[in-house]
């Protein structure tokens, strides 16, 4: 088994002001989806949600507002899952609430440097 990080991408919508009920329903959708992965023994870390504000430090030392101000896309959160390969990790991403909200899920393998060092 390998570990994979799922990064949840979306675009901020300043016109969207959800009610407490809408927020509760959305949280339940996320809990149910992650609970399904957990029930399979594949959820390694429930991750965290990330805010819409931030700063980015560039190689030249400049600092800009927002994590991705130039493309208007943010990483809204992440989880870590365990899967045999990338295809299986993508299968786990099916049903993610980010997708139904117009976002996307990026699946990236996590490099196990300890194993690599032990092999070398």
Residue ranges of domains in the chain, CATH in brackets: 2-119 (3.30.70.1060)
| Two structure tokens written together for 37 | 């992965």
Q: What angle do CA 54, 109, 101 make, to 5 degrees?
A: 55
Instruction: Say whether pLDDT at 55 is over 80.
Output: yes
Q: Which of 87, 96, 99 is nearest to 109 (CA)?
A: 87
Instruction: Examine the pLDDT at 38 and tell me if it is beyond 80.
Output: yes
pLDDT(68) > 60: no
Average pLDDT over residues 16-42: 93
pLDDT tens column, 97-117: 999 888 999 999 999 888 777
Q: Is the pLDDT of residue 6 over 60?
A: yes
Q: What is the mean pLDDT of the chain?
A: 88
Mean per-residue pLDDT, 39-66? 87
- Lowest mean pLDDT across 21-30, 38-47, 64-73, 98-107: 64-73
The C-alpha angle 12, 18, 33, rounded to 5 degrees, equals 80
């Amino acid at each position: 088994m390998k570990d994979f990080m799922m990064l949840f991408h979306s675009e901020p919508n300043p016109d969207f002001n959800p009610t407490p009920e809408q927020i509760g329903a959305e949280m339940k959708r996320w809990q149910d989806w992650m609970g399904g992965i957990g029930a399979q023994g594949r959820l390694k870390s429930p991750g965290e949600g990330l805010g819409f504000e931030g700063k980015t430090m560039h190689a030249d030392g400049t600092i800009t507002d927002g994590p991705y101000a130039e493309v208007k896309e943010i990483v809204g959160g992440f989880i870590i899952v365990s899967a045999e390969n990338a295809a299986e990790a993508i299968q786990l991403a099916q049903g993610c609430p980010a997708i139904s909200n117009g976002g996307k899920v990026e699946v990236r393998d996590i490099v196990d440097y300890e194993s690599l060092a032990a092999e070398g």
